[in-house]
Chains A and B, each alone.
Chain A
Amino acid sequence: MHLLYQIFIDPFVQMGTAPDLFVQTLWEGLVTGVLYSLIALGFVLIFKASGVFNFAQGIMVVFAALALVGFYEHGVPAYLALGLTIVLMLILAVAVERLILRPLVNQPEIILFMATFGLTYFLIGFGELIFGGDPKVMISGALGLPSGSYQIKTLGGFVQMQKIDIAAAIIASLMVASLGVFFQKTRIGRALRAVADSHRAALSVGISLEQIWVIVWFAAGIVALATGIMWGARSNVSFALEIIALKALPVLILGGFTSIPGAIVGGIIIGLGEKIGEFYWGPLFGSGIEDWLAYVIALVFLLFRPQGLFGERIIERI
């Protein structure tokens, strides 16, 4: 009886009695969610255009962030370092297309998936060789990102908002909006969607697969860079960040592997779920549920809507 009370009633009583804490938790969940969305977005871009689940998206985040800090540490001014990192991501996209995708064209998807594993470990090794294995501090100050926080007096208490989190939310929204316009309204966006639907039909109207792949990997690289900056500004930039790639999985299951809005909504649901779960139900399970709650949410979701919130319904003809 007491356990049932603790699970079903007590958390809601707490939410009611300390609304400021509840709002604070919501805000933190939202910010984490936005970052998850960004990571998931990188996956969706590549998955849409080439049907490859890019395991290397996580390491691309780390690689981009490390490169940015690395350039800066070598005396390159912050904004120039940002530009150089963008160029580096373009080079990476071209290299991936030339050396991995092109030779493996028409191979089963699992082969391409394994190839992205290879890419991941190559980037880890290569990154450590160049940048060293030590955690680094993101140059958020030099990039003009705000620090400090706002304290809002409300609901009989305080809600604290880090300025960097607000910036992250704004940048993420802008990024998502421009990607949306890009996909829906431009010739290249249309070509991207076409490639996602049918390779041979895309080829027959003269869309070059090679060019499209470079573009999506580059776009995913830019998204990775943005994620790296935002995530790095909250903690450190280290190779440990690489496992956040795994956090994108539940987000993708929720949102659908091919849907940009899905990635956003899925990320936010997972972020909110994690924070609220951790704060209100965590003590029951001895805390630490943040690490696995996302997967449980995804699992439950899989039972009811295997195609994800916004994914296309899978109807197969038998």
Chain B
Amino acid sequence: MLTSSALVLMMTGPGLALFYGGLVRKKNVLGTMMQSFVLMAVVTVLWALFSYSLSFGPGNSFIGGLQNVFLKGVGAAPDADYAPTIPAQTFMVYQLMFAIITPALIAGAFAERMKFSAMLLFTVLWSIVVYDPMAHMVWGKGGLLNAALGGRFPTLDFAGGTVVHITSGVSALVCALYLGKRLGYPKEQMPPHSVVLSFIGACMLWVGWFGFNAGSALAAGSLATSAFVATHFAAASAAVGWAAAEWMRNGKPSVLGAISGAVAGLVAITPASGFVKPMPALAIGLIAGVFCYWMVAKVKARFGYDDSLDAFGVHGAGGTLGALLTGVFAVSVVNPIFKDAQGNPLPSGMFEGNAHQLLNQLLGVGIAWFLGIVGTLAILKLVDVTIGLRVSEEEELQGLDLSQHGEEGYYWETSA
């Protein structure tokens, strides 16, 4: 579990930092990486002080309480409800890594134009107002949607399709629309300054995702293995799907497309990873690869929003797709999440005979969308009227690295 925690942290730094960093223009590489890195620090502090308590402390259906502020009661003894074989502290620090990467994903939508101070304030508030409630509802004791702990509307979300990807992806869309397009978009050409960096980041994301999904089994064993296999298979088939779609449409499969496809598959399998068998995982990946390619290459262009790094197209759309497909393909033989009064497993998903689960998935998806939209809008408005969201025009032209951080990413022109 500690290894899984480390892997998930690595997904943010340097995984996501590199993946996003390579996609932006050279003058914004550090600013973009900083957006990931600073959250590793800031979200950790929030988590330690009170965010863990709000997410996983006992509370009501929507939010945790304050019993575990300053991590009181979170020590060596396991929390029997959450993970009976590991210390509560292990569970806490594992969940922290999810809380870190979720807001970091949103940065993809406001890349290259958000003030650093505004981004800090936004993500602190977002973490508390959107992430903590969603995490609580799906994974916390008493949570409305908690499938493992008797929530009223159990939503199957093994590792965070709704909690992580839909909330961040939908919030990203709201941010992109609210902040508006980058100067010069879409006429001016803004190709990725380093697909090499993005490639390295994406590979780290693929490997790190084993910690994200397999680790969500919260113990070594057959469920962790099943989730590991499903994760890997979905990444693979999605990479093939996106690359094939590009090959057919553009005549050449791009490296950026292949790695984006893998990420899309990993996003989609996230909620399903601990519930589906390997062949459906392949199918989920393939569908996600093609679907997210279409979202990014066609839908975004048609509607004209500047979701700069496709946070909505990959995470919002991929997460929604994955959450719904989880309801289709989940089987109790992989994970007997629903049991009758005698303890016998009940059907999990539609193909097993529980079509009703799709409604619960839809509800979970809907709540994630709702929280993402409403929470984000409110926070954006607040930050906008207090400190302002966007950098000035000069700062945007100069680039975030210099204007926000006083640095250059590559100081190659003038060497000593």
> A and B: real partners?
no
Could you tell me which B residues sit within 8 Å of A by CB distance? Answer: none
Binding site for B on A (CB under 8 A): none
